[in-house]
């Protein structure tokens, strides 16, 4: 089983996170931000990852530190489960519709963190969360995990757009981390 448990404590947040990428999509997410909990739970459920995440943050300031630091810890956890990358598929993509919205995610788990985030939310807040923080969350996660991600979305309903992105990311990540029959490192360099 490819699983990891991490703790991170700063003056702004305290995070305990357990991730099993060979799970069944179960777990508990409690960040103090209900909409963000819903997005992380959706991502893990559709990836079939077991995710337990408990965060206490300075929500009296705003949501930024809690969401950013969760991206840091989740990215670190994913990076650890990838390890040297031996046997993983490495590349994957997903296209997920949600009513009038659609999200497309293409990933390379090759060790280089990079994000292209193309889409626009209609309002400044989604589920009582500043909409601009979602791009920052994925930037932080991808940078820490060593994932190149291209995320594109469109639609009229911001909740649907955001949820489609999280689901597509989870499905693409799950497919990229599938162990393939070659059992080697998926790179012509011989290393990720």
CATH topology of domain 3-176: Ribosomal Protein S5; domain 2 (3.30.230)
The pLDDT tens digits of the residues spanning 124-170 come to 999 999 999 999 999 999 999 999 999 999 999 999 999 999 999 99
In contact, 39 and 63? CB cutoff 8 Å: no
User: 3-class DSSP state for residue 74?
Assistant: helix
User: 3-class DSSP state for residue 146?
Assistant: coil
Tokens of 64: 């930024």
End-to-end CA distance of the chain: 21
Domain ranges of the chain: 3-176
Q: What is the pTM of this model?
A: 0.96
The pLDDT tens digits of the residues spanning 58-108 come to 999 999 999 999 999 999 999 999 999 999 999 999 999 999 999 999 999
Q: Give the length of the chain.
A: 192
In contact, 169 and 119? CB cutoff 8 Å: no
The pLDDT tens digits of the residues spanning 159-170 come to 999 999 999 999
Q: b vs e for 52-66, b when ≥16 Cβ sit within 10 Å of the residue's Cβ?
A: bbebebbeeeebbbb
């Amino acid at each position: 089983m490819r699983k990891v448990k991490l703790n991170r404590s700063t003056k702004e947040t305290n995070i305990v996170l357990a991730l099993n990428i060979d799970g069944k999509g179960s777990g508990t997410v409690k960040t103090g931000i209900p909409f963000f909990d819903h997005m992380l739970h959706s991502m893990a459920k559709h990836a079939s990852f077991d995710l337990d995440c408990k965060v206490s943050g300075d929500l009296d300031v705003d949501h930024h530190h809690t969401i950013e630091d969760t991206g840091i810890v989740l990215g670190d956890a994913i990076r650890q489960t990838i390890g040297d990358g031996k046997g993983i598929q490495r590349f994957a993509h997903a296209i997920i519709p949600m009513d009038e919205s659609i999200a497309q995610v293409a990933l390379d788990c090759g060790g280089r963190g990079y994000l292209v985030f193309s889409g626009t939310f209609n309002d400044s807040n989604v589920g009582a969360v500043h909409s601009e923080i979602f791009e920052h969350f994925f930037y932080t996660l991808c940078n820490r995990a060593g994932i190149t991600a291209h995320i594109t979305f469109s639609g009229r309903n911001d909740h649907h757009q955001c949820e489609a992105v999280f689901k597509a990311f989870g499905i693409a990540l799950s497919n990229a981390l599938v162990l393939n029959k070659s059992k080697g490192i998926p790179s012509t360099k011989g290393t990720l």
